[in-house]
């Protein structure tokens, strides 16, 4: 059986538009009237007949479906002849892969990741069972508490530096005399 997809040089999943474009390009390339050499004309006429035949089948949706079924059967038969009467599973990337027999393995122990990657922790939390979610909630509460305590310490340190005489001018420049704070004060004061 001729492979019309190879004749038109297109993929088996090509749309009708792509098949039509490929046909036009190849018909122009192999048209006998455009050939200068007399010896080439006979070869191109034969090639053009194949291209026309392929296009007539692949451009008609009904004929294309029938052709695809026949082509698939032929490929399966060729594989069975080549490898014997095995079950070859499903088609993957236009190659048939034999089915693998299931092998029972012992369950693997989960290895705890000691790194603190937030994304992996979140993914683990999504797929973990209920006790692990509770553990993640506790960890989040501890993190939130640490953030709040850090803010309190920074504000307290700022207040402390405000009252120390030689750092008062520096803190005043950072806060009260800062144009951003002045803008916020004017914006919210109105």
Of 48, 63, 96, the residue at which a domain comes to its end is 96
Range in 58-67, 88-97, 178-187 with the lowest mean pLDDT = 88-97
Shared domain for 89 and 16, answered yes or no, is yes
Least confident of 56-70, 118-132, 144-158: 118-132
pLDDT digits (tens, 9 = 90+) for 85-106: 655 544 444 445 555 555 555 5
111 within a domain of the structure (yes/no) = no
Phi-psi region of 93 (alpha: psi -120 to 50; beta: other; left: phi over 0): left
What pLDDT, on the 0 to 100 scale, is given for residue 106? Answer: 55
Does 113 reside within a domain? no
Q: Which of 6, 28, 16, 25 is nearest to 56 (CA)?
A: 16
Answer whether residue 132 shows pLDDT above 80.
no
CA distance readout (Å), 49 to 30, 34, 35, 112: 10, 15, 15, 66
Higher pLDDT, 122 or 44: 44
Summary mean pLDDT of the chain: 76
As a whole number of Å, the CA-based R_g of the chain is 37
* Contact partners, residue 181, CB within 8 Å, separation at least 6: 175
At which of 47, 63, 96 does a domain end?
Answer: 96
What pLDDT is stored for residue 60 in this prediction? 86
Query: Tokens 């040089």 identify what position?
Result: 9
Q: What is the CATH number of the domain that holds 81?
A: 1.10.287.110
* Nearest-angstrom CA–CA distance, 127 and 50: 56
In the block, residue with structure tokens 């504000």: 155
Do both 87 and 33 map to the same domain?
yes
Same domain (yes/no): 78, 143: no
Whether 106 is in a domain gets the answer no
Count of domains observed in the chain: 2
Flag whether pLDDT at 24 surpasses 80. Answer: yes
Determine, yes or no, domain membership for 101: no
pLDDT-derived band at 180, boundaries 50, 70, 90 = confident
- Model pLDDT, residue 78: 84
Say how far apart CA 78 and CA 73 lie, in whole Å. Answer: 9
Residue 82 and residue 125 share a domain:
no
Alpha-carbon gap, residue 145 to 173, rounded angstroms:
30
pTM metric for this prediction: 0.43
Same domain, 89 and 126: no
151 and 84, same domain (yes or no): no
Domain hosting 48: range is: 4-96
């Amino acid at each position: 059986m001729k492979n019309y997809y190879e004749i038109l040089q297109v993929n088996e999943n090509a749309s009708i538009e792509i098949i039509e474009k490929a046909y036009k390009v190849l018909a122009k390339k192999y048209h006998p009237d455009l050939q200068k050499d007399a010896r080439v004309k006979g070869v191109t006429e034969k090639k053009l007949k194949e291209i026309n035949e392929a296009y007539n089948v692949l451009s008609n949706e009904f004929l294309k479906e029938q052709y695809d079924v026949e082509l698939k059967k032929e490929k399966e038969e060729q594989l069975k002849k080549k490898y014997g009467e095995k079950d070859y599973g499903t088609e993957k990337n236009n190659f048939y892969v034999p089915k693998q027999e299931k092998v029972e393995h012992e369950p693997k122990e989960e290895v705890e990741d000691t790194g603190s990657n937030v994304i992996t922790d979140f993914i683990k939390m999504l797929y973990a069972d209920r006790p692990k979610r509770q553990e993640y909630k506790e960890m989040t509460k501890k993190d939130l508490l640490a953030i709040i305590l850090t803010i309190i310490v920074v504000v307290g340190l700022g207040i402390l530096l405000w009252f120390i005489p030689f750092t008062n001018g520096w803190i005043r420049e950072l806060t009260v005399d800062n144009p951003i704070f002045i803008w916020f004060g004017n914006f919210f004061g109105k």
